[in-house]
Structures are given as C-alpha cells and as structure tokens.
Structure 1
Amino acid sequence: MKEDFLHYVWKFQKFNTATLTTTSGDTIQVIRVGMHNHNSGPDFFNGQVLIGGQKWAGNIEIHIKSSDWFAHRHEIDPAYDNVILHVVWEHDVEVYRKDGTAIPTVILKPLIPTEILNAYHTLFKKDQKWIGCQQRFHEVDDLTMNNWIERLYIDRLQRKSELMMHRLKELNNHWEALLFEMLAKSFGLKVNGEAFLSIGQSINFSVVQKCRKEPETLEALLMGQAGFFNSENDDPYFESQKENYKFLLRKFQLDATSVIIPKYFRLRPPNFPTIRLSQLANLYHQKQALFSEIMNVNNSSQMYEVFKISALPYWGSHYNFGVTSAKNKRVLTKKFIDLLIINTILPLRFCYDSHLGKDDTETLFTMAQQISAENNSITKKFNDLRPIAKNAMDSQGLLQLKNEYCNAMKCLQCAVGNQLLKA
C-alpha cells in the first residue's frame, strides 16, 4: 500500500461515505476534501468536515499507519497544528494536538470497494510487465488518451524549456548562442550529441559570427575543435583546413580541452561527424539570421526550406579526409530535419514564447502533428498495445509518459491509471 493511493481515494472519495465515523464513534460528513498539496506540509489544505455535527475547517493529513505521524515528526512541526482530520489505512496509535486533544481519525481500510483495491494491486503488481497497465491500456477511451498525451507533450516542452533557460542565463541571455549549442547537439544525434554540444560550448558564439562569412573557415573551426586535425593526412583539403584552423586557434585563443571527441563507431556514413559538422557550418554560413527566421516559421514545410542545406563541396565525394566515395550532395534529409524540429526547434520556440509571456502552443502542436511519429523502442511497444503514435506530438508525449510516469510507477498521477481505477 502507498500513500499516493490513499490520496487518490480521499481526493475522489472512492470509499463508502454513507456511514463514515471516527475511531471514537463520531459521525463524519465530508463537505470539502481540500486542495491536494504536492509539496511539504499537510496533504490537503482547507478541507471542511462535520464531525459529530460540529463543522471543522482546516488541513487533512493522510498516512498508511497512524504512527507515521510521529515517524515523520509532525508533532514538532507547526505546519501540522491546523490538521482537523487524520485519514489512515491502519490505526495503531492515537495522535494528539499540542493542547492534548486527540485528532479525529478515519480508517479507510474497511471502506474501500474490493474492485478498486483489485485494480490498484494489478497496477502495482511486481512482475515483468513493461508498464503496469499494459493488460488494460487499450481500455482507456480516445478522448482521455488524446488529452493526456497533449498534456504530456506540454510537460515535455516545459522540462526542456527549463534546461534551456538555465543555459540561457549562463550565456547572458544570448538566444542565438543558445540556438547554436542546441543545434550542435542535435546534429550529433544520439551517438555524438554530447560531443557536438561540447564543441559548440567550447566556442564563443561571437567567434562563430566572425567566421560564418566563409563556410570553409567555419568548418575548419568546428572540425579543429573536434580534434580532427590532430593527426597527419596528405590530402590537400585536409592540409588546407588544418592550416586554416591553426590560424583561428592563434587568433581567437581557442581551447578544446573540455571537448569530447566525436565517435564513428556504428554510424552510417551520412551520419559521420565530418559530414554533420560540415552541414552545420554551411547552415550558419547560409543563414545569417537563423534564430529570427526559425522563430517566424509557422509550419513544417517552411521549416524544411530553412534547413535545405548540404555539406561543403569537398564532402560530396568524401566521408573522411582523403578517402574518395561515390558522389552525393550530402543534404539534410527530411527525417533528419524532423529530428531537429522535434528536439531543438519546437522546445526552443516554446522556451522563447514563455520568456516573452506569449502562448503559441497551438502553432507548436500543429507543427508537431505535421511530422511523422518517431520510431523507437518505446513508441513501438506502445503501438503494440494500441495504435496510438500517429505523429511527433504523440511520440513525444509517449516518451514523457514512459519515462516520467510508467518507469516511476506514478500510475495514480496518470490519466490512464486514474481512468482504469475508476472503471
């Protein structure tokens, strides 16, 4: 038994209230359950109850056992002086106020219907289930599921926004610099995301702005910071870019000691760090006002145009320095741009809108819904339970559901778990 379940039972009055009495035999009528408190202090604020015909207004505390009151040291905490009712699963000791009067206690254990208890135990049964409700996940109605996924997507945007705002303060509110770092991380994908982020953070954005007029110069800056010129290669382009970087190193007093060296292991050639860094360099060469442009785009089609770029010409016939390959423009694919939009652009737009006190979530929803759902192990398993991930908003919401609720067993804070308990 968990206190969260008792919170749920009290909040929604999921027990027999017809003959409700205290442990001392006084009748109880619940007028107001109170406001659920998720922070420190009593569990429900400003409740109202009639006890033996006398109206009481104050806070309500819930525990598994009455003795938890003392285990949690509430008897010495002034925040609990105004508790008017103690709601417990089991009553094993009387609890008193500072003036010596007993706090009225209600025992829930004999009052909760068997079907609700069975549903609760099924959700929290310790077995090899992928998620607690997987046997009944398909039973939740579409309206509840769609509204919950939308809420989860907002939660995910808010979480990412908080991380971005923290970094923005470190960058002295330089939004362009923040965008550069976030894009760098996204260009690295899962394998090299942290490595590319470390490259972006190793370069003051003012240096990027000074180098962006010549794409080869900006490419040399990024690849040099990545450590690509620490070896020897007789390829003419390699030698030229290495000299280019040596000049930049001296001019801007660059430091790459904190950079994580990118990996090639298990990467397909189009995702090699050489190709992705060259594409990033060319993007910033071609888009001199990238942040402004991104903030003013209102649909995914326009966003695809923003990112319609390729690697520099040398990489059209190379994946590595000095190794010739079949010719190809090495453009950003639609699938790759979708990942940029999902993981960087939409969260940054949400962050920027929040900073301005602006609510443009409908535009963000529309853009996310215009993008195909992500195809990963989590979305695949949810789709096995029911066909649910239709677009990127759905897949992002499902990632939030699995990581923040299912994995943490927060079924009682989840719309899915709540509906299944009510069923």
Structure 2
Amino acid sequence: MNFPEDFLHYVWQFKSFDYKDLQVLSGEDLTIIHQGFLNKNAGPDFSNAKIQVGETVWAGNIEIHIKSSDWLKHNHQTDKSYENVILHVVYENDVDIKRIDGSILPVLVLKNRISNDLIERYANLFLTLNDFPCAAQIHTVDQLIIDSFLSRTLIERFEQKTQAVFETLDQTKGNWDETFYRFLSRNFGFKVNAFPFELLAKAIPRQIFGKHKDHTQQIEALVFGAAGFLNDHFEEEYPGLLQKEFQFFQRKYHIKPIEVTNWKFMRMRPQNFPTIRLAQFAALIYRSNHLFSKIMEIKDVVGLRSLFENLPVNIYWQSHYHFKKTAEGVSTQIGKSSVDNILLNTIALFLFAYGKHTGTQVYISRAIRLLESLPAEKNAIIDKFIEAGVTIDNAFSSQAILQLKKQYCDRKKCLSCSIGIKILKQV
C-alpha cells in the first residue's frame, strides 16, 4: 500500500522493523546505538542519534523519506541544516544522494524489513470507514493506556482554549473580571445564542453594572435594553419601567443596543429562550458582585454550583417567556445540566488559565479536579467511543475524548497517539 512518511517515522522511532544484520547500501555493517529523538519542527526528522557504520561511530541527525529522491524534491541538497545528517533512512532507494560537500550519504533501505502484518494493521487504521480509525480495535487497548493519553489530550485542550482567554485579557488590558465576564456571557447563550450574548458583553462592559450593583431593576434594564428588547411599545408595567430606566442609561453611558434579530428562538423550549436566559443573567449579575474573585476562592463543585442556583429572577418571568407573551409555570432557574455546562466550559477554563498565567499550580489542579467532579457530556461523539468500549466516567474524560477526536482521529494522526501506537504494536 501507499503510506505517508509518518509511518516510517513510527517504524524508526520504535524500531518496528527487522534490525538484525543491518547494512547501509554501500555494504558496511550498521549498528543503531540510539535512533534519536523525533523532531516536530523544521529540520531533519530525528535529532541526537548515534550509529556505527563499519568501525566508525557517528552522532548527528537522521532523515527519513519514502524514496531517496525525496531528498531532492524537498531541496535538502541546498539546506545546510541537513549537513549533519548521518543516515538517510528510506523505504526505497531510487537515486544516490550526496551532501553539499560531495560525500555520499549513508542509506538504510527498509523495504524488505517491515512486516506485512504491521503494514496491514496500519492500513486497517487508516482505511477504516468507522467513526474514528481505531473504533474496531480500541477495546483491545488497556484502559490505563487510554486514560494516560486522555490526560495529555485534556491538557492540550486546556492549553488551546487558554490562548483565547489570554487574547481577550490583552484586549481588556489585564482585567480578569472583564475577561471572565465576556466568556461567561458567551457561555450563557450556550450554542444557539452564544454570539448575541458575546455582543451584549461588548455593548455593556461589566464596570457599568458595578455602578448599579444594589439596584436589581436597573441591572435588568441595562441587560434587556442593551440586548435590544426594549425598543417597543409596552402596556404592562414591568417592561415599561425597564424601558424608561434604559432610555436614561443609554444616553448616560452611550450604549448602542445590539439588533434584536440576533437572538434565536426557533426550535427551543421556552425555558431556554434568550429572554429567560437574559433574566437569569441579570439576576446573577445583581447577586454576584466580583464573581470571578468568588470563584477563585471556592474549592468544591457544590460551592461553585450554588453560585448559579436560586437566582433572584424577577417574578415577571414566572408568567412570561417573552415580553407581551404570557405563559404558565415558566421555570426561571438555570437547570443543573446548564449549570454544569458553565462550570465545565467557563469556570474550569478560567481556573486553568489563571493558574497558567500566574504560575500557580493549585488553580490548574482545581480545574482538573472540577472536571473530574462533573458528569460526562452526552453527545454523539462520546456515545461512539462508549460503544467502542472506552470508559468515560466524567467531564475530564469526555473533554479529553473530544480533543482526541478533533486533533488526532479526524486528522488521522494515529502515529502521534499512544492508543494508535499500542494497536500497531500488538501482535
């Protein structure tokens, strides 16, 4: 079969070939003392290798190609960083390669040294039509190996998401409270209304709320007004009062409301309508001044959940799911699964990001423990891995699985995955 160069990287790195009685193409005996370290940056594929060719011991770099002519295709012949290559490892030799100084580069040909069984196992991974490459084999891998690699992918996921936090932190000139407020706002919209909630946070900065922290109706007016829901004529007293309050604040703070058409209502339960979410959001702002600081102090999941429970949502929303639209028995509190979603996607992220930014390991550890305390997410991707035999007990595992699927499975990076490597090594 045709296989990429990465496969040969794997074969060399783990010595997954017949390495008895090795010889370079010129006929001299070859001994691999150390195969070197895989280089994921620019330059030769493996660095700090050590080999013996004939009676001479060489230390330097290893370059690997499917065909030796790939050296020329990649223009290594003019790149001085390849002058310290001590061995050219190829699957097939189709042309002699010389260094810039004219000396012949020693070549090891692997064509007849890689077992058909290994190539077949590799093909089974990469030619599969399953939901992820090793869906049919992952149940044969010890859960300890899976869990170990999931720990790595979880940290990778945190690291990647943390970059967005740091970018916003730069925009807010190092203001953690404002940065947290923006991310929390977006999370409050969940998937459907994340974007308008993000616009809302930019339309009305957190410090404005701080000036009205003791006046719940003023905060509600600011939230619904900036969200664009108060540009109408109202018969009921409550929205009318909010409208008057906001008209004053709009002039005072130069607030530009977002377009109300940004908000999505279709195919949603009334308790998930953006109007209900905005009412909950206003109640949270009113009750939780300096929320970020409080979160940094609370050390257990029960305490964190309590911040989002029993919010003082205005009684108006118990009989309405929209201005001008009445209803009976509307639930005004955030559901447990929604609270856990916020803890997972915002609170844990900020614990990790703050720990990373300040070099404080205790916050990083708390972020990880928080995910271990939360139930696993439920979605199609998680279901497929569970069906394949993977144990997913909590949000730590489910978040790690999502990272595994996106960054490794979807990109066919099985040779960079401990699970894929283990499957290839199995006899």
Give TM-score scaled by structure 2 length: 0.95
Q: State the match for 1:353 in structure 2.
A: 355
Q: State the match for 1:185 in structure 2.
A: 186
SS across alignment from 2:361: coil
Residue 410 (structure 1) aligned to one of 402, 410, 413: 413
Cα distance change of structure 1 residues 208 and 91 upon mapping to structure 2, 3 Å threshold = farther
> What CA distance in whole angstroms lies between the structure 2 residues aligned with 1:390 and 1:401?
16
Q: How does 1:351-390 map to 2 (within 5 A)?
A: 351-360=353-362, 361-390=364-393
Contact 1:56–1:84 (8 Å) recurs in 2: yes
Shift in Å, 1:391: 0.9
Q: What is the letter of the counterpart of residue 369 of structure 2? A: T
Contact 2:221–2:246 (8 Å) recurs in 1: yes
Shift in Å, 1:387: 4.8
Q: State the match for 1:398 in structure 2.
A: 401
SS across alignment from 1:191: coil
Question: Could you give the per-residue CA deviations for residues 102-150 of structure 1, whole angstroms, max 9, x where no partner exists?
Answer: 111111221112221111111111x532111111111110110111122
Question: Could you give the per-residue CA deviations for residues 249-307 of structure 1, whole angstroms, max 9, x where no partner exists?
Answer: 11111234689812111111111111111111111111112111101222111111121
Q: What is the letter of the counterpart of residue 323 of structure 1? A: K
Contact 1:202–1:258 (8 Å) recurs in 2: no
Q: What is the letter of the counterpart of residue 249 of structure 1? A: Q
Tell me if 1:315 matches 2:317: yes
Tell me if 1:165 matches 2:161: no
Question: Could you give the per-residue CA deviations for residues 77-100 of structure 1, whole angstroms, max 9, x where no partner exists?
Answer: 222121111111221111111110
Residue 97 (structure 1) aligned to one of 77, 96, 99: 99
Instruction: Report the number of matched residues.
Output: 422
Q: State the match for 2:300 in structure 1.
A: 299
Structure 2 segments unaligned to the other structure (5+ residues): none
Contact 1:215–1:282 (8 Å) recurs in 2: yes
Q: State the match for 1:244 in structure 2.
A: 245
Cα distance change of structure 1 residues 312 and 77 upon mapping to structure 2, 3 Å threshold = farther
Contact 1:198–1:258 (8 Å) recurs in 2: no
Tell me if 1:284 matches 2:285: yes
Q: State the match for 1:131 in structure 2.
A: 132
Residue 87 (structure 1) aligned to one of 89, 104, 110: 89
SS across alignment from 2:90: strand
Shift in Å, 1:32: 1.3
Q: State the match for 2:68 in structure 1.
A: 66
> What CA distance in whole angstroms lies between the structure 2 residues aligned with 1:222 and 1:328?
20
Q: What is the letter of the counterpart of residue 268 of structure 2? A: L
Cα distance change of structure 1 residues 347 and 260 upon mapping to structure 2, 3 Å threshold = farther
Shift in Å, 1:328: 4.6
Q: State the match for 2:145 in structure 1.
A: 144
Q: State the match for 1:273 in structure 2.
A: 274
Contact 2:4–2:66 (8 Å) recurs in 1: yes
Question: Could you give the per-residue CA deviations for residues 203-225 of structure 1, whole angstroms, max 9, x where no partner exists?
Answer: 22322322333222222222222
Cα distance change of structure 1 residues 102 and 303 upon mapping to structure 2, 3 Å threshold = same
SS across alignment from 1:88: strand
Aligned-pair identity (%):
36
